C-alpha cells in the first residue's frame, strides 16, 4: 500500500464552483443548504453565490486575494464561503468568538482584501471593505471560474514557533476531498448532512463541500454549541432527519456511553457516523456494533485538506493493539512510511507517515522556511516536482494494508479533536509579565479524559490561575486554553537539563479563594454534580467551573445532567457565561426551550412541450434583418472546440440529440403568425454531420479544415424553417477531433454557450456511463407580466433620454467604404501577460474591475483616433436578471452603452472613475437593448451612427467544463466574414491569458490597420497603467502617428 500512488477522485480537476453549477442544472429542485430559517435549492444557492461573488469583484477582490469570513453558524456562512471560491479568491475563516487579539493577528497575517460578516457583528479586523450577505441574486458571475490550482482557503493551525500558521489549500484539494468523501460516504440526493464543525477548522471542509457535489443537503443547526450534549444532539438528528453526521472522537465516546446507559436510541434516518480527531477507546469501538450503524474512522492533517485516510469499522471489531486503524489513503492521496533517513520501512515497522497527491496544500502562507521543512521533495512517485508532507505521525502498516497510528514524532498534540502546538500556548503564557517559564502538555490521568494542562513558574506571588486564564482568553481561542493551570516553584528537569515532562504533577484543582457554601436546593444539587464530574471533594457557590478543571466536554456532560435533574435545556455558551454555581443556578430558575421547524422545499416548475409562443422583443430586429438579408451570415455565431482522447463518437452524437431535446429553442424557427413574431417548431431537428480528414497529410488536412470551418460558419440559416443549429464533428486522428457548431444568434448568446457546453458534457458522460440523462432544463420564453412591463418602460425612458443627447460618431474610415455594408474581417492578438496582470491589479487597487480598466483604455485610444471628446461604446450585458433565466439556452443578451467625455487633459484615473460610474448606471438599465430604445427616437436622426464601436470582455465558456476521458481545448470563435459594427474590440479570458479580437468592417480598414490598432491599444493601456495620473495627451504622443 505505501508504495502505491492512488488514482485521483473522478472530477477532481473540476473546481467546486463549477460542480455546484453543474448540480444546480442536474438537481434544480433539490435543497442545497438549510438552517432554521432558510432553505435554498441549488439554483437559488448558485444565484445568490454569484451575486455576492460579483460584489466581491466590485470591491476589488482579485483571484487568490484573501477574504476573511467572520460569521455565526448558519446557512449564509456556506453561501459566503462559496461566493469567495466563485470569485476566485481564498476564504480565511475567523471565528467571531475568538478574542479580538487573535482575530487581529489572523487578519494581519493573512493580508485580508475584504471581510464578510454578519450585519450585527463588528469585525474590526482590518481596514478593508466589509460585506454582508444579502438576498440579492445574479444569473452569472462576472469572473471566470477558478482553475484547480488556484488558492481556495487559508486554514490556521497551531504554530510551533508560537504563531499560528496559515495552511494554503487549493481548489483541487477541496474538489478532491469533496468527491472522495462523497464517494466513501455514498452521499446522494436524499442525504442530509449536519454541519457541526466550526468553519475555522479543517474538519469543516469534509462537512461543507461533499454534500454539494452529490445533490445532498447541508443542514445547519440553530445552536451548534448546544449539540455538544448528547441528548440535544440526538434530538437534532431526529428532528432534522439527518442521515450523515461527523463527530470528534471525544464526542463519539460520549454518544456511545449515553446510548449504553440510557433508553435513547439512534434516530431512524441516521445511516452513517463519521468519526475522527483522536484515538478511539477500544472498548467503546468493540461495543459499537450493537447499535447496527456503519462507522467510518477518518484521519488527516490540515496540510492534506483535512482528510487523508478512511477506515470503515467492521461490526464487532476490537482494535489491534488497542489502536483503531486510520485506514487507507483516499482517492487522489498516497502514503509512504519512512525512517529517519527518508527510506521506506517494511510493513509492520514503525515510521513517519508522509502524504502526497492532489489534496496536498501549497504550504504555509508567508512562511517559506516552515513550508520547506514540512513539504519535502518526493523521491518515490516519479512525478516531476511532486512533494510530500511530513505529518510527524508515527504509524505502521498492518498485514491487511491499513495504517495504524502509534504516536507523535514531535510534541504536537490533539485535544478534543483540535491539533495544538504546545509551544504556541507556552509562548502566550510567557508573554505575561509575571511568568518566567511555561510548559504545556496533554494529560490523560483518567482513560478517555484527555486535557490540556499548563505549568508555570512566576516572579509575582500574587498572580493567580484566573489572572493567567484571563490573559490567555485575550490571545487564544477557547480550545487552546488549558483546562488547568498549575503553578510550580521550579520546573522538573532531566539529567540533561531538559524539562522532565513525565515528572510534571497531576493538577490538584486547588482553589485560590475562600469557600462559600451553596445556598438553596438548586445550588446544593449543582455543587454535587460538579464535585462528581470534577472529582473534587466539595464545590462552593462562587467556585469557577474552569478553575476547578472543567472544560467544554465536561460542561456538556454537566448540562446533560442538569436537564435530567432539573428538566431544563441550557447551552454550553450559557454555561461558560455563568461559570459559578450561583450564576448557573439563577439560569436554571429561568430556563426554557422551543422547537424550530424547517421550511418545506419549494416545488420545481415544470416546462411545457413544444408550442408556438411569442418571440422576445429583443429578437424582432434581428429576425427582420435576417429576412432582409437571407443570404448573409451576419447573425451567425459559430465556434469550435478540440477534443483529444478516446472519443466515443456515437455517444457524442446521442449527447447532442439529448441536448437538442432538452432545449426547445434548438429545434425552433421563427415566423410571423397573425402579425406577431412567434417561436414555432422547426420543420426538422438539427442534423448531425461527421467529416473524416484523418487520412490527409498534415498540411493538406489543415487547408481542408480551414475551408470546411469557414464554410460551416458562413452558411446562412432559414429562420422561417429552421432548425437554427448545425453540429459537425471533424475527425483529425483516432484520438483527435474537432467539434464545430454553428447557430443563429436568434436562439443563442454567450451564456447559452456555457449552458450548452456543460449540458453536452453531462449528457456525454451519462451516455458513456449508461446513466440517465440530466433532469429537464428550463426553457427560454419572452419576458411577460406587469413587472416586466414596468421594467421595460423604466428602461426605455432612461435610454431614450440618454440617446437623444448623444451625438453621432464619425470615424476616420467613413470616406473609405459605402454605407450599409456588413462585410468584415477579424484579427487576433495576445495582450502581453505583464500588461494583463497590471490591468487586473489596477482594477483591484482602484475598486473597479479589469473590464473597466480595459474599456477605459479603449475610450482613451478612441479619443485620439476619432478626435471626438464625446464617446459612446456598445457593451453587451447578460440580460439574465429575471429569475429562471440563468440556465436557459436562448437570446437574453442586451446591448448597453457606456458613455464618456474624454477631455484633452483628463488623466486615465479620472476617465476610469467616470467609466465606473457610467457603467454601473448602464448595468442598472438592461431591461432592453439600446437599439430598441433608439427605434423610439424621432426620425432617422443618424441612429445608425450612434452605435458604431463595441467593447466586450468574455470568458472562455469551456473553462471548468470536464469531459470524461477527454482533454478539451478552449472555445475558438469562427469568423463569419461579417461585422455588425464598424469596429469591435473583444477580449477573451482564457487559461493562458487575455486573447484580443479586432473585428472590423471592410472596406474601411485593412488587416494591417487592424493589427496596428491592436498594437496601439496595447501601448495606450501599458502607458496609462504606468502613469495613471498623467494627462492622456502626454501618453498618446508617440503611438498613433499617421494611422489616422
Q: Once rounded to an integer, what is the mean pLDDT over residues 606-615? A: 67
The pTM of the full predicted model, rounded to 2 decimals, is 0.51
Tell me: pLDDT of 293 over 70: yes
Q: What is the pLDDT of residue 8?
A: 47
**CA distances from residue 180 to 7, 12, 310, 435, 967 in whole angstroms, order as listed:** 11, 9, 10, 47, 22
Q: Once rounded to an integer, what is the mean pLDDT over residues 402-426? A: 75
Q: Once rounded to an integer, what is the mean pLDDT over residues 694-722? A: 91
**CA distances from residue 700 to 692, 697, 732, 824 in whole angstroms, order as listed:** 13, 5, 12, 27
Q: What is the dihedral of CA 832, 836, 838, 839, to 10 degrees?
A: 140
**Lowest mean pLDDT: which of 110-124, 694-708, 1028-1042?**
1028-1042
What digits encode the pLDDT tens for the residues 177-236? 999 999 999 999 999 999 999 999 999 999 999 999 999 999 999 988 888 889 999 999
CA atoms within 13 A on the CB side of 998: 21
Band of residue 172 on the pLDDT scale cut at 50, 70, 90: very high
Tell me: pLDDT of 664 over 90: yes
Q: Are 135 and 185 in contact (CB under 8 A)?
A: no
What digits encode the pLDDT tens for the residues 634-658? 999 999 999 988 999 999 999 999 9
Q: What is the pLDDT of residue 861?
A: 95
Q: What is the pLDDT of residue 260?
A: 87
Q: Which helix (H) or strand (E) holds 125?
A: none
For the chain, the maximum distance between any two Cα atoms, rounded to a whole number of angstroms, is 103
Which carries the bigger pLDDT value, residue 24 or residue 545?
A: 24
**CA distances from residue 370 to 361, 375, 537, 644, 852 in whole angstroms, order as listed:** 13, 8, 47, 41, 40
Q: Once rounded to an integer, what is the mean pLDDT over residues 882-894? A: 81
Q: How far apart are the first and last CA of the chain?
A: 70
Band of residue 517 on the pLDDT scale cut at 50, 70, 90: confident
Query: Which of 653, 786, 637 minimizes the C-alpha distance to 725?
Result: 637
Band of residue 806 on the pLDDT scale cut at 50, 70, 90: confident
**Sheet containing 244-248, strands listed edge to edge, beginning at the edge strand earlier in sequence:** 39-41, 31-34, 217-219, 192-194, 244-248, 272-276, 295-299, 309-313, 328-329
Q: DSSP readout, 733-747? A: ETTEEEEEEEEEGGG
Q: Once rounded to an integer, what is the mean pLDDT over residues 268-288? A: 88
Q: Which three cell numbers stand for residue 92?
A: 480565511
Domains and CATH numbers, the chain: 16-407 (3.40.50.12780), 421-503 (3.30.300.30), 520-590 (1.10.1200.10), 613-769 (3.30.559.10), 821-958+975-1035 (3.30.559.30)
CB atoms within 10 A of CB 696: 14
Amino acid at each position: 500500500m505505501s508504495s502505491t500512488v492512488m488514482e485521483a477522485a473522478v472530477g477532481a480537476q473540476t473546481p467546486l464552483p463549477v460542480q455546484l453549477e453543474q448540480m444546480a442544472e442536474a438537481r434544480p429542485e433539490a435543497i442545497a443548504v438549510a438552517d432554521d430559517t432558510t432553505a435554498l435549492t441549488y439554483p437559488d444557492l448558485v444565484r445568490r453565490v454569484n451575486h455576492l461573488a460579483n460584489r466581491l469583484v466590485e470591491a476589488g477582490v482579485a483571484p487568490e486575494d484573501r477574504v476573511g469570513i467572520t460569521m455565526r453558524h448558519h446557512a449564509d456562512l456556506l453561501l459566503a464561503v462559496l461566493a469567495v471560491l466563485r470569485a476566485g479568491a481564498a476564504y480565511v475563516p475567523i471565528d467571531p468568538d475568538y478574542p479580538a487579539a487573535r482575530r487581529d493577528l489572523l487578519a494581519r497575517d493573512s493580508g485580508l482584501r475584504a471581510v464578510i460578516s454578519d450585519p450585527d457583528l463588528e469585525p474590526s479586523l482590518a481596514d478593508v471593505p466589509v460585506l454582508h450577505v444579502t438576498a440579492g441574486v445574479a444569473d452569472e458571475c462576472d469572473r471566470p471560474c477558478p482553475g484547480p490550482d488556484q488558492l481556495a482557503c487559508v486554514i490556521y493551525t497551531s504554530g510551533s514557533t508560537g504563531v499560528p500558521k496559515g495552511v494554503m489549500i487549493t481548489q483541487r484539494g477541496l474538489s478532491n476531498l469533496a468527491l472522495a468523501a462523497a464517494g466513501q460516504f455514498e452521499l446522494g440526493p436524499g442525504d442530509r448532512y449536519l454541519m457541526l464543525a466550526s468553519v475555522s477548522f479543517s474538519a469543516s471542509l469534509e462537512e461543507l463541500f461533499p454534500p454539494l457535489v452529490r445533490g445532498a443537503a447541508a443542514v445547519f443547526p440553530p445552536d451548534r454549541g448546544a449539540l455538544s450534549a448528547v441528548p440535544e444532539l440526538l434530538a437534532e438528528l431526529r428532528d432534522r432527519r439527518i442521515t450523515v453526521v461527523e463527530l470528534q472522537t471525544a464526542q463519539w465516546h460520549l454518544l456511545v456511553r449515553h446510548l449504553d446507559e440510557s433508553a435513547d436510541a439512534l434516530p431512524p434516518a441516521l445511516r452513517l457516523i463519521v468519526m475522527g480527531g483522536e484515538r478511539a477507546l477500544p472498548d467503546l469501538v468493540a461495543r459499537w456494533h450493537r447499535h447496527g450503524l456503519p462507522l467510518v474512522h477518518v484521519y488527516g492533517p490540515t496540510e492534506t485538506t483535512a482528510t487523508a485516510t478512511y477506515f470503515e469499522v467492521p461490526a464487532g471489531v476490537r482494535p489491534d493493539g488497542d489502536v483503531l486503524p486510520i485506514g487507507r489513503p483516499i482517492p487522489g492521496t498516497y502514503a509512504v512510511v519512512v525512517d529517519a533517513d527518508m527510506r521506506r520501512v517494511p510493513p509492520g515497522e514503525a515510521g513517519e507517515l508522509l502524504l502526497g497527491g492532489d489534496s496536498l496544500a501549497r504550504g504555509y502562507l508567508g512562511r517559506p522556511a516552515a513550508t520547506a521543512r514540512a513539504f519535502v521533495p518526493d523521491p518515490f512517485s516519479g512525478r516531476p516536482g511532486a512533494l510530500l508532507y511530513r505529518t510527524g505521525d508515527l504509524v505502521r502498516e498492518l498485514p491487511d494494508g491499513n495504517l495504524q497510528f502509534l504516536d507523535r514524532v514531535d510534541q504536537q498534540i490533539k485535544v478534543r479533536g483540535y491539533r495544538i502546538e504546545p509551544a504556541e500556548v507556552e509562548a502566550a503564557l510567557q508573554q505575561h509579565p509575571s511568568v518566567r517559564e511555561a510548559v504545556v502538555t496533554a494529560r490523560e490521568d483518567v482513560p478517555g479524559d484527555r486535557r490540556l494542562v499548563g505549568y508555570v513558574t512566576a516572579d509575582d506571588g500574587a498572580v493567580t490561575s484566573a489572572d493567567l486564564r484571563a490573559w490567555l482568553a485575550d490571545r487564544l481561542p477557547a480550545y487552546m486554553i488549558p483546562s488547568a493551570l498549575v503553578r510550580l516553584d521550579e520546573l522538573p528537569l532531566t539529567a540533561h537539563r531538559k524539562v522532565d515532562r513525565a515528572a510534571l504533577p497531576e493538577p490538584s484543582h486547588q482553589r485560590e479563594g475562600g469557600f462559600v457554601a451553596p445556598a438553596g436546593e438548586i445550588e446544593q444539587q449543582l455543587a454535587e454534580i460538579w464535585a462528581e464530574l470534577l472529582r473534587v471533594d466539595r464545590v462552593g457557590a462562587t467556585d469557577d467551573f474552569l478553575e476547578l478543571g472543567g472544560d467544554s466536554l465536561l460542561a456538556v456532560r454537566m448540562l446533560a445532567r442538569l436537564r435530567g435533574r432539573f428538566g431544563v435545556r441550557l447551552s454550553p455558551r450559557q454555561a461558560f457565561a455563568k461559570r459559578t454555581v450561583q450564576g448557573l443556578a439563577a439560569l436554571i430558575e429561568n430556563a426554557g426551550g422551543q422547537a424550530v421547524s424547517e421550511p418545506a422545499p419549494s416545488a420545481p416548475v415544470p416546462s411545457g412541450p413544444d408550442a408556438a409562443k411569442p418571440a422576445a422583443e429583443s429578437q424582432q430586429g434581428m429576425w427582420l434583418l435576417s429576412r432582409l438579408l437571407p443570404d448573409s451570415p451576419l447573425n451567425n455565431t459559430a465556434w469550435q472546440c478540440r477534443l483529444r482522447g478516446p472519443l466515443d463518437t456515437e455517444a457524442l452524437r446521442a449527447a447532442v440529440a439529448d441536448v437538442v431535446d432538452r432545449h426547445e429553442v434548438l429545434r425552433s424557427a421563427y415566423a410571423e403568425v397573425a402579425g406577431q413574431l412567434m417561436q414555432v417548431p422547426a420543420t426538422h431537428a438539427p442534423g448531425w454531420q461527421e467529416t473524416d480528414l484523418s487520412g490527409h497529410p498534415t498540411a493538406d488536412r489543415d487547408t481542408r479544415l480551414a475551408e470546411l470551418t469557414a464554410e460551416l460558419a458562413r452558411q446562412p440559416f432559414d429562420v422561417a424553417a429552421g432548425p437554427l443549429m448545425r453540429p459537425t464533428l471533424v475527425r483529425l486522428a483516432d484520438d483527435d477531433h474537432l467539434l464545430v457548431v454553428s447557430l443563429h444568434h436568434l436562439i443563442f448568446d454567450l451564456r447559452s454557450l456555457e449552458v450548452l457546453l456543460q449540458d453536452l458534457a453531462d449528457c456525454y458522460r451519462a451516455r458513456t456511463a449508461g446513466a440517465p440523462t440530466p433532469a429537464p432544463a428550463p426553457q427560454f420564453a419572452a419576458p411577460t407580466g406587469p413587472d416586466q412591463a414596468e421594467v421595460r418602460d423604466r428602461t426605455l425612458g432612461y435610454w431614450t433620454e440618454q440617446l437623444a443627447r448623444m451625438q453621432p460618431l464619425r470615424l476616420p474610415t467613413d470616406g473609405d467604404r459605402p454605407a450599409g455594408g456588413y462585410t468584415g474581417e477579424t484579427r487576433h492578438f495576445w495582450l502581453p501577460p505583464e500588461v494583463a496582470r497590471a490591468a487586473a491589479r489596477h482594477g483591484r487597487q482602484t475598486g473597479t474591475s479589469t473590464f473597466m480598466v480595459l474599456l477605459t483604455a479603449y475610450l482613451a485610444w478612441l479619443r485620439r483616433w476619432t478626435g471626438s471628446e464625446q464617446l459612446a461604446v456598445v457593451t453587451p450585458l447578460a440580460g439574465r436578471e429575471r429569475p429562471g433565466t440563468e440556465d436557459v439556452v436562448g437570446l437574453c443578451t442586451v446591448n448597453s452603452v457606456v458613455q464618456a467625455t474624454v477631455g484633452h487633459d483628463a488623466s486615465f484615473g479620472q476617465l476610469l472613475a467616470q467609466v465606473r460610474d457610467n457603467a454601473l448606471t448602464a448595468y442598472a438599465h438592461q431591461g432592453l437593448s439600446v437599439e430598441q430604445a433608439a427605434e423610439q427616437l424621432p426620425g432617422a436622426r443618424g441612429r445608425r451612427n450612434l452605435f458604431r464601436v463595441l467593447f466586450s470582455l468574455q470568458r472562455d465558456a469551456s473553462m471548468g467544463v470536464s469531459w470524461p476521458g477527454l482533454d478539451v481545448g478552449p472555445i475558438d470563435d469562427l469568423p463569419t466574414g461579417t461585422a455588425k459594427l464598424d469596429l469591435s474590440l473583444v477580449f477573451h479570458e482564457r487559461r493562458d491569458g487575455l486573447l484580443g479580437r479586432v473585428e472590423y468592417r471592410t472596406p474601411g480598414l485593412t488587416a494591417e490597420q487592424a493589427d496596428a490598432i491592436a498594437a496601439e491599444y496595447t501601448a495606450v493601456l501599458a502607458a496609462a497603467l504606468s502613469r495613471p495620473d498623467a494627462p492622456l495627451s502626454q501618453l498618446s504622443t508617440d503611438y498613433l502617428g499617421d494611422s489616422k
